[in-house]
């Protein structure tokens, strides 16, 4: 196993209207079909899918109550922290600290997908993700999700710092504006040597 797909913050607070009102990224509507095709591609090619999901606690530093920039959103144990309804999550295996040095095994009755909770922008920061990927000999990651200029970019940065080859799925990411999205893609390409790719019915290009 040398590759993994990281799906960043594809949870209801960001990706589904009616949950965390101030955090909903309406441009996600433009990439839903692409993300569904990306998941299908990963499953067909036996690429494990790891959802990296905000699950905030009350003392997290990015919250306004603690001096951070954001109001409460995607709090641990709430519906807004659950994966969006329009992506498959049935049988999802949640990975905890105890799983960090285990092989990714596709257990009978479960999908080819896993979940890691995070408490800030990066899927790597204070999570089991790096240990899990390295233990499973993953050398290359595909990254998609929300939003391009924050959690996707920070996850890509931490992947770069840890020596992974990075691919960012351009039409599998969205931001609050096209300008922020494009600037983030350019930054990741220039600074992390990220390959910017697209997904369609024929696969990744």
- Give the pLDDT confidence of 26-46 residue by residue, as tens digits: 999 999 999 999 999 998 998
**pLDDT at 92 (0 to 100):** 74
Give the pLDDT of residue 7: 97
pLDDT-based confidence at residue 113 (cuts at 50, 70, 90): confident
Rounded CA-CA distance 160/195 in Å is 12
* E strands present in 12-126: 49-54, 93-94, 113-118
State residue 126 phi and psi, 5-degree precision: 55, 35
Write out the residue range of the structural domain in which residue 161 sits. Answer: 3-204
Report residue 106's pLDDT band, with 50, 70 and 90 as the boundaries: low
What are the two backbone dihedrals, phi and then psi, of residue 70, each rounded to the nearest 5 degrees?
-120, 145
Token pair listed for 106: 């596709």
| pLDDT-based confidence at residue 84 (cuts at 50, 70, 90) | very high
Residue 153 pLDDT exceeds 60: yes
First to last CA, the chain: 20
Span of 10-14, 20-24, 29-33 with lowest mean pLDDT: 20-24
Is the pLDDT at 77 greater than 80? The verdict is yes
For residue 16, pLDDT over 70 is answered with: yes
Domain count, the chain: 1
Report for 64-73, 84-93, 106-115: range of highest mean pLDDT: 64-73
How remote is the C-alpha of 125 from its chain's centroid?
13
For 108-137, b/e burial (b = at least 16 CB within 10 A) is: eeebbbbbbbbbbbbbbeebbbbebbeebe
The CATH code of the domain that includes 100 is: 3.40.50.850
Query: Looking at residues 10-36, what average pLDDT do you find?
Result: 96
Structure-block tokens of residue 114: 């896993």
Overall pTM surpassing 0.85 (yes/no)? yes
Q: Say which residues have a Cβ less than 8 Å from residue 185's Cβ, sequence separation at least 6.
A: 148, 168, 170, 173, 194, 196
Q: Residue 104: its pLDDT value, please?
A: 66
Report the share of the chain in percent with pLDDT over 70.
90
């Amino acid at each position: 196993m040398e590759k993994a797909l990281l799906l960043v913050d594809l949870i209801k607070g960001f990706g589904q209207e009616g949950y965390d009102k101030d955090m909903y990224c309406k441009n996600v509507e433009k990439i839903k079909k692409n993300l569904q095709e990306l998941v299908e591609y990963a499953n067909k090619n036996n690429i494990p899918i790891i959802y990296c999901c905000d699950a905030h606690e009350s003392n997290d530093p990015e919250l306004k109550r603690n001096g951070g920039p954001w109001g409460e959103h995607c709090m641990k144990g709430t519906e807004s922290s659950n994966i969006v309804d329009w992506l498959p999550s049935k049988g999802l295996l949640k990975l905890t600290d105890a799983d960090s040095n285990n092989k990714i095994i596709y257990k009978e009755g479960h999908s080819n997908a896993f979940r890691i909770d995070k408490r800030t922008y990066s899927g790597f920061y204070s999570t089991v993700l790096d240990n899990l990927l390295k233990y499973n000999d993953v050398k290359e990651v595909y990254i998609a999700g929300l939003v391009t200029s924050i959690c996707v970019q920070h996850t890509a940065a931490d992947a770069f710092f840890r020596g992974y080859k990075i691919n960012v799925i351009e039409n599998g990411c969205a931001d609050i504006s096209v300008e922020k999205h494009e600037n983030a893609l350019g930054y990741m390409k220039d600074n992390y040597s990220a390959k910017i790719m697209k997904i369609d019915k024929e696969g990744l290009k």
